[in-house]
Structure 1
């Protein structure tokens, strides 16, 4: 009886010990280390790859004409308004010509006076020549009459010039459009006085042709070296967020701008606007196509950040790991252009259909992270 009780207790103790040992083994680091690798991979494939430079810019008309006035006065007629289409030579506004007309009448009277004086000087000079020929007057008197004739001619010429000036100024009271286009802005109203003293006041701003526009964008000095004329450009505007517009680089202006120690250059981009839906002043979010490959083997750049957590030697830059029979195999690779997410494979033992490892999903566990934290490595950025 006593032996039976003792045997039962021994059996129970043995069962408990076996269970403890089994549990310790199951949750031990050795057991964890025996877990099969669980990798997240991506199959390599060929496709399009584009290197871009991103910048912001402003849409502007290619030709923007400021129409002003050369004379001062009160605006008494206004024939156009915002967004009106105008043709070259069309009358936009008229300035009160009262003062100009008064000056014109004065100039006409002055011309008539000088012409009368010239006629008298001509008669005196003719008479003096006749008298001098008969020795009735001295040579000095003849010279004085000839000099008076020359002065009379000069005064007439001056009066004619003043008359032309006043006629021209009267023509300036009628403001005409120098080009055909669209009135973008109007900064004058009927009854307003405009003063043309040292600077010409702007009355209207006319865009010559809104079917062709340009984007003035600022590109940082670190990126401008890759920009060339006629490079393709893709851009969008907030007004049409689901639509992508195209253009081409026309010019890289040499005049730089420095703002907070950042040097930028103005890159001018030609844009076709046949529907005239792009308006002056819109902000354009620009992508300049620097390089493009239409059928290249692409590799995700995330693959360069992976290396097996079991390795204590760290990762060699420009090395990825290919999944072969459940194992991570190191493969050196050369990269060409990159779009920030994918790179172009230009060298190495990789081909379309290979599975490259992006992540060890087991490393997300606490023990996996502990192993990974012991590794100090550096991956070269592309």
Structure 2
């Protein structure tokens, strides 16, 4: 008979999310004039998704261009004044050497020439400042085009045509773009009592309400150190990476997740119910070289912890129940791993006793034994 698998798992609830979601916002305020992207729209980096009314920003650009043109004209005028001041200075210096012009006139000419040179430097600096303002105005004009920054799919749109957005205090978010929906992640919250055994690389399985009978598999990518405390309950975020090439998973789905902490495969297993089954009183038979006898006594329930610590199950041998000591390894709440003991595949282990016609099956044939059995090795 096929051996079973026993796994110790952590159960947690989480949410399916894209691995990377980029928020697309606007740096400028204004009225939304056009929308080119909607929900589920595939986009590429640089693609135009929306447009804000550019007219106010175009007016600022035009004004700044005119201002730069005025400043350049002023520079040309002041350069002409500089050339004239230089000509006057050179002429008066020659006349002063011939004694025709007084030194005071030459000194005044030198002062005017220096002022003309300073005016040129001032004009050039002013032009640079106005050009910088023009560049800023052109950048703001460019921001009226809302561009997709990455390749992906639009998963959310929070704006309508005609709506006014204000970017005075914070950037308004217009779209959410998921970069790659073929790779998803489940963000789960694991309690502090279970987080100790969770590590990166652990296998995880989960189901979602849309596909309750379809298990999905993933691997733990992160077990974050930062605690999350809600109403004095401490949990830790565990991120499970999932392949979504089939496109069945969608952002926001609720996932019931099992993170496999430890697993044993191809091992002998018995149900935990068999560990809880106990017999007491006189007449319990024990095997001796193949012989067996037993007296019928009523069973009583015992805790799984007591049974596991004592390591005993009851096996039906030669028609009689026999107590068999065993060593129990992993348990998953349903089955337990048998590490050692006189059990073999196919041995009928008693899990309970038939106590009524309903248990035995009133409409069927009489059972051959008053016990419900489990064959060792099956699940």
TM range (shorter): 0.7 to 0.9
Question: Which of 250, 275, 279 lines up with 2:250 in the alignment?
Answer: 279
What is the SS of the residue equivalent to 2:330?
Answer: strand
Q: If each structure's helix is expressed as a fraction of its own residues, which one has the higher value?
A: 1
Q: Normalising by the residue count of structure 1, what TM-score does the alignment of the two structures yield?
A: 0.76
Counterpart of 2:107?
Answer: 137
In structure 2, the gaps of 5 or more residues are 94-102, 283-301, 358-379
Shift of residue 182, structure 1, vs aligned partner: 1.6
**Larger deviation, residues 50-59 vs 326-335:** 326-335
Q: CA, structure 1 residues 304+115, in 2 after alignment: closer, same or farther (shift >3 Å)?
A: same
What is the SS of the residue equivalent to 1:275?
Answer: coil
CA distance in 2, matches of 1:165, 1:210: 37
Shift of residue 69, structure 1, vs aligned partner: 0.8
CA distance in 1, matches of 2:237, 2:68: 55
CA distance in 1, matches of 2:261, 2:210: 26
CA distance in 1, matches of 2:327, 2:113: 102
Shift of residue 80, structure 1, vs aligned partner: 2.0
Q: Normalising by the residue count of structure 2, what TM-score does the alignment of the two structures yield?
A: 0.77
Shift of residue 83, structure 1, vs aligned partner: 1.6
CA deviations over 1:93-120 (Å, ceiling 9, x no partner): 1111111011011100111122222333
Give the alignment's Cα RMSD to 1 decimal: 2.6
Q: Judge conservation of contact 2:3–2:269 (CA < 8 Å) in 1.
A: yes
Counterpart of 2:237?
Answer: 266
CA distance in 2, matches of 1:263, 1:60: 22
Q: Judge conservation of contact 1:56–1:218 (CA < 8 Å) in 2.
A: yes
Counterpart of 2:223?
Answer: 252
CA deviations over 1:142-162 (Å, ceiling 9, x no partner): 543333222212111111101
Counterpart of 1:89?
Answer: 46
Q: Judge conservation of contact 1:304–1:318 (CA < 8 Å) in 2.
A: no
Question: Which of 146, 168, 184 lines up with 2:139 in the alignment?
Answer: 168
Greater radius of gyration (CA): 1
Identify which of structures 1 and 2 has the higher relative contact order when contacts are C-alpha pairs closer than 8 Å and 6+ apart.
Answer: 1
Shift of residue 126, structure 1, vs aligned partner: 4.9
CA distance in 2, matches of 1:128, 1:254: 75
User: What count of residue pairs does the alignment treat as equivalent?
Assistant: 320
CA distance in 1, matches of 2:6, 2:170: 53
**Larger deviation, residues 165-174 vs 321-330:** 321-330
CA distance in 2, matches of 1:209, 1:321: 53
**Larger deviation, residues 319-328 vs 204-213:** 319-328
**Larger deviation, residues 328-337 vs 78-87:** 328-337
Q: CA, structure 1 residues 321+211, in 2 after alignment: closer, same or farther (shift >3 Å)?
A: closer
Shift of residue 249, structure 1, vs aligned partner: 1.0
